[in-house]
Amino acid sequence: MNVEIEGGEISPKRLVAPPSKSYTHRAITISSLSNGKSIVENPLLSEDTLATVDGCKALGADIDRKDSELVIDGFGADPEIPNDVIDLKNSGTSLRFLTGVASHLKKGYTVLTGDNSLKNRPNEPLINALNDLGAEIHSTKLNGTAPIIIKGRLQGGYVEIKGDISSQFISSILINTPIAPENSEIKVTTKIRSKPYIDITLEVMEKAGIKIAKEGKAYKVKGNNKYEPIEMKIPGDFSSASNILALAAISNQEIEMKGLSPSKQGDEKILEILERFGAKIIHKKDTVKVKPEPLTGITIDASNIPDLLPILSVIGTQAEGKTKIHNVEHARYKESDRIKAMATELKKMGAQIKEHQDGLTIKESSLKGTKLNGYDDHRIVMALSIAATQAEGKTTINTAESIKISYPNFFNHLKKVGVEVDKK
């Protein structure tokens, strides 16, 4: 699907943020590993999180949607042998988490796959770590890309893993080792990128009765444990909301967004960053109001907030002077190479932008509408859509349907604030 967006004035509005994708993935996975019924209120039901739902159901969880909640009857430490290959579509989180879950099979095997984008995402560090812990996992391709064949049974033990490629690897191991028969120690041998996502993992695990000890660079996990059923409400998603908050900051009208309670989400840092750019931010309870003010370029260490790189680069085009985003090389290993993608597409719009191995440098620029590639990457599409609102003329972005992964109402929200959006 293509989307056509024309720049113009926006209207002040109050919107409700979509629920957090990160919390939803973890709540579904951990509830499926529990013994008994869990209730997850206000879940994000998007293509990514529904991939986790379908994967957990294929492994034996009973998951029902009732109004605005999911009721999940878990399989504990004994997943079932799935009837078929599990297609996780474009969801890297689902693939990594369920690679760990499927390693608890007592017999048989599971095959996990996905779309072309997912089949290009590396998983070798996770596969090697789970194999060191007693699982039997194979990929027929380089870098451990899908399809992945998983046999049980995860036992526990000592393992070392790098933390500078994807925090999802560490989260998967942390989620799955407590129900392995033996104790485990997970030593992270490098600096952890995107650490807030691991903090979210530990928070949801603790709600289910599992607490992990951290000693230096090592996580100490007691084995032969059980997850308890949980009841939790999913908070709003700062990653997705950052696009609308950025729109307010670079336009001439304030926008208010509800549902954004303080949480462990790293991308909540968007509020601090917008203030550093010069915007006025009011955050009371679960409501964020952004009032536009003149913006000035800043330097941003994005090591823990790689998902914000696309929208931060757009803000940089509208801020006086120079903006530098650095220390975020791991953004190259997402649904697309997001550093290269944003440099390429914003240049097409006339932006003064320079690509570095670990980030971008952007100067204030006048943007012009043109035809853009969305790379089938939801965060690229959303960021370019915000850029299009500030461009002269019309902008067409392809693969716009990818927003269903995390923010299905994104274009509806743009329309509510007065942006001209035409889906084709």
Q: CA 140, 399, 354: angle at the middle one, nearest 5?
A: 85
Whole-number Å distance between alpha carbons of 129 and 417 = 47
Question: Which residues participate in catalysis according to the annotation?
Answer: 307
Q: Are 146 and 119 in contact (CB under 8 A)?
A: yes
Using DSSP bridges, classify how beta strands 218-221 and 13-16 pair: parallel, antiparallel or unpaired: unpaired
**DSSP line for 226-274:** -BPP-EEEPPB-HHHHHHHHHHHHHSSS-EEEE-----S-GGGGHHHHH
Distance, CA of 180 to CA of 227 (rounded, Å): 12
In this structure, the number of other CB atoms found within 10 A of the CB of residue 53 comes to 22
Q: What angle do CA 139, 145, 147 make, to 5 degrees?
A: 60
Task: Return d(Cα 152, Cα 24) in angstroms, integer.
Answer: 26
Closest by alpha carbon to 363, among 321, 391, 313, 302? Answer: 321
Three-class secondary structure of residue 316 per DSSP: helix
Question: Per-residue b/e over 98-108, b at no fewer than 16 CB within 10 Å?
Answer: bbbbbbbbeee
Alpha-carbon Rg for the chain in angstroms: 21
* Residues 119/142, Cβ–Cβ less than 8 Å: no
